[in-house]
Amino acid sequence: MRILLIGQAAFGAKVLESLLERGENIVAVYAPPDRGGRTDPLKDAAVAKEIPVYQPATYKDDQVFAEYTGIKPDLTVMAFVTDIIPARYFDVPTHGTINYHPSLLPRHRGASAINWAVIMGATRTGLSIFWPDGGIDTGEILLQKEIDVTPEDTTGSLYFNHLFPMGVEAILESIDLVKADKAPRIPQDESLATYEPPCDDKVAGVDWSRPANEVYNLVRGCDPQPGAYVMFNDEKVRFYGPKFMDEAHDKAPGMVLSVDDRGVHVALDGGKLIVSKVKAGKGKKAAAAEFAAEKGLKAGDRLGR
């Protein structure tokens, strides 16, 4: 089977590596254009294996589509794709196109599925391999895998410990089903669909007036990107490595309760938040206690406006 891979980053590179390890015929790879002198890991992996690489700036160009059609893939695999790809591409392969998405569709359609599952307090999430149809994560489901979300999980832990490796295996399993002509096409239940916007600074600001669990879920849902933030000394300070403690206190939410080797302890409306790492402005991540010592942050100070 002639497989064409569209993807990016470490996930796309790992999918390519896994496909090659089991002897799949990868006829071409589509990766993002080089930016700032840096090449994408998927491109690097393909070049190392002497696989043709295409890097269109847009998939809307007729010449790009004609070039894609000329490759004559039997199956296109989309492994972490953020570009908008017109629906006409999906029907070119003789066996169609399959796409990886890190949520249990139709829940959490959109670019920040893992973030929103955590921010919304989900206790279960997972991944979907589906047949794209031109909508935003709206195609029929091929298969799904579920995992638990613990109260300590962050977006980063869910992705790197679970949804990344499980996603690679799910793609391989899906290809086997396609080859065997046993791949399901299960319609999504639109009555259960949710779509959330990108998780960026428009939603990552901490509002201390919210209940403790909502603040904690926001911080862990924005870890590692974009980093939930407050303003301190006129710059954004982002929180990472959060812990929640169900401890009573009489301080206003957002007030620093203490600083120790575990991090900065901040009052919440119904508990406290311990932040182990922070990132101020355009600086690098640092231990929260070191940041506090450097900035003179101490018990009784308030974080945020």
Output the pLDDT for position 262: 97
SS3 content of the chain, % helix, strand, coil (to 5): 30, 30, 40
Express each pLDDT in 223-256 by its tens digit: 999 999 999 989 999 999 999 999 999 999 999 9
Task: Give 169's DSSP letter.
Answer: H
Dump pLDDT digits (tens) for 6-16.
Answer: 999 999 999 99
Taking phi over 0 as left and psi of -120 to 50 as alpha, with beta for the rest, 265 belongs to beta
Q: What are phi and psi of 195, to 5 degrees?
A: -135, 125
What is the pTM for the complete model shown? 0.95
Question: For residue 166, is pLDDT > 90?
Answer: yes
Q: Give the bridge partners for 26, in sequence order.
A: 3
Contact 42, 4 (CB under 8 A): no
DSSP string, 194-216: -B----STTT-B--TTSBHHHHH
Task: Give CA–CA dist 222/238, Å, rounded.
Answer: 9
Cβ of 294: how many Cβ atoms within 10 Å?
10
Render pLDDT for 101-160 as a digit per residue (tens, 0 to 9).
999 999 999 999 999 999 999 999 999 999 999 999 999 999 999 999 999 999 999 999
Q: How many CB atoms lie within 10 A of CB 120?
A: 16
* Angle at 107 (CA atoms; ends 30, 142), nearest 5 degrees: 55
- Rounded Cα distance between 93 and 285, Å, is 44
Pairing of strands 271-280, 286-287: antiparallel
Phi, psi dihedral angles at 283 (to 5 degrees): -75, -175
The reported pLDDT for the residue numbered 37 is 86
What is the spatial distance between Cα 30 and Cα 5, in angstroms, rounded to a whole number?
A: 6
**Measured distance CA(161)–CA(269) in Å, rounded:** 31
Q: What is the layout of strands, in order, in the sheet containing 97-101?
A: 53-54, 25-30, 2-7, 75-79, 97-101, 124-131, 140-148
pLDDT reading at 305 higher than 80? no
C-alpha–C-alpha distance, residues 239 and 90, integer Å: 40
What domains are there in the chain, each with its CATH number? Answer: 2-192 (3.40.50.170), 229-295 (3.10.25.10)
pLDDT in tens, 19-69: 999 999 999 999 999 998 899 999 999 999 999 999 999 999 999 999 999
pLDDT at 251: 96
Q: Which residues, in sequence order, are CB contacts of 165 under 8 Å at separation 6+?
A: none
Q: Which secondary structure element, helix H or strand E, spans residue 90, and what is its range?
A: none
Q: How far apart are CA 245 and CA 86, in angstroms?
A: 47
